[in-house]
Amino acid sequence: MRILDRYLIRSFANALIYCLAVFLVLFIIIDVFSNLDEFLKHSVSLKIILTYYAYFIPTILVQVIPIACLAAVLFVIGSLSRHNEIIALKACGISAFHILLPYFFMGILISFGVLLVDELVVPQSSLASTSIMEGLIKKGGANFEQRSLSKVTLYGKNNCMIYAREYEIESKTMHDVVIFQNDMRENFQTQIKAKKAAYEKGRWVFYDAIEYRMNRRGEVVGNPVFSQELLFPLDQKPEDFLHQGSQVQFMNSKELTGYIQKLGGNSRKLVQKLSVDLHYKIAFPFVCFIVMLIGAPLAMRTGRSGTAMGIGLSFTLVLLYYGIASTCLALGKGNYLPPMFAAWFGNLFFAVIGIYLIKNTS
């Protein structure tokens, strides 16, 4: 590696660490103020608050690192322009592309790093932070064993959907449970409501359950059947409610792929939505590379006199990226676009713009 490359990479790395720290602190401060009512209402201890944010940090980092990358590359190239270093490099015969190349290399490296963190760390940390918020902070719990998840929905085999108002993690207990059993055309067949369901001796036991038979129009047929204890054959285990539970952020791509395969031909609309989420989980980390691909040549083109314009234009393009990406995701989940195309279109479209900017940067 050339001395110049090491210098550019080191400058960018220092700026990135600084930007990440600033965005991380700002995000946490804003989140603290937004949840301050909950903290004070339930007299949440400082230990629980610190534990919550310790688990929440990986999720925050994955979300803010694209903006941090953009801010860092704009700052570094702007600094090079102010000190006439870019002019000196070009005078030595170094092209604009070779000046920008270390930043693109860092963008790719960061993207793969974010992908790794998103696969290995974020699902578990997101589950932990969410369960602390819902089971300890919002309910005023005092210890870690009281963690829970609210409004858990799980789609199983044979067109079965399970909904629970609350799922207690340690006790493996669901509260206010509703089970819908559909036919192959997704028409209601059976509905079961229970006050509580507990996983005991390898099976689910439903307490104070009422079972309804329904016709194709969703109307109750016959008299409902009440049971103090009901054994309903569910293939789902307690860990399924943690790692699946219709919460994509709690799953890595391998677990999400397995969940989609488990659904098979059931719930085609849900499979379409989850397929879009699966492809986007892989596509999103490469936003870091895309913002570098756009931001670096723009900062180079504006030079010393147009730093503010370059920053404004770069952030405008990033906002436009998120707008187009969100639109494509919505169209994909609505079955108007193929899942892979919906997830990757934003990256590909703005990669083309970035390549155009690079080719026209001198």
List domains and CATH numbers for the chain: 3-126+280-359 (no CATH), 158-234 (2.60.450.10)
Strand order across the 220-231 sheet: 148-156, 160-168, 173-182, 188-200, 203-214, 220-231
User: Which residues partner with 198 through β-bridges?
Assistant: 173, 205
Residue 286 confidence class, pLDDT cut points 50, 70, 90: very high
Number of C-beta neighbours around residue 58 at 10 A: 20
Residue 98 confidence class, pLDDT cut points 50, 70, 90: confident
pLDDT: which is higher, 250 or 328: 328
Helix or strand holding residue 99 (H, E) = helix 96-120
Q: Is the pLDDT of residue 327 over 90?
A: yes
Instruction: Indicate the average pLDDT of the chain.
Output: 82
Q: Is the pLDDT of residue 282 over 60?
A: yes
Q: What per-residue confidence (pLDDT) applies to 106?
A: 93
Q: What is the pLDDT of residues 54-66, one digit of tens each?
A: 999 999 999 999 9
Residue 105 tokens, joined: 């290399």
Helix or strand holding residue 48 (H, E) = helix 46-82
Rounded CA-CA distance 319/106 in Å is 22
Q: What per-residue confidence (pLDDT) applies to 61?
A: 93
Q: What is the pLDDT of residues 299-312, one digit of tens each?
A: 877 655 555 665 67
Residue that is written with structure tokens 């719930």 in the block: 267
User: Which residues partner with 229 through β-bridges?
Assistant: 207
pLDDT: which is higher, 319 or 112: 112
pLDDT: which is higher, 106 or 307: 106
CA 141 to the chain's CA centroid: 27
Of 280, 284, 288, the closest CA to residue 66 belongs to: 288
Least trusted range by pLDDT, from 13-22, 52-61, 191-200, 222-231: 222-231
End-to-end CA distance of the chain: 23
**How big is the chain by its Cα radius of gyration, in Å?**
25
Residue that is written with structure tokens 């929905």 in the block: 153
Residue 266 confidence class, pLDDT cut points 50, 70, 90: low
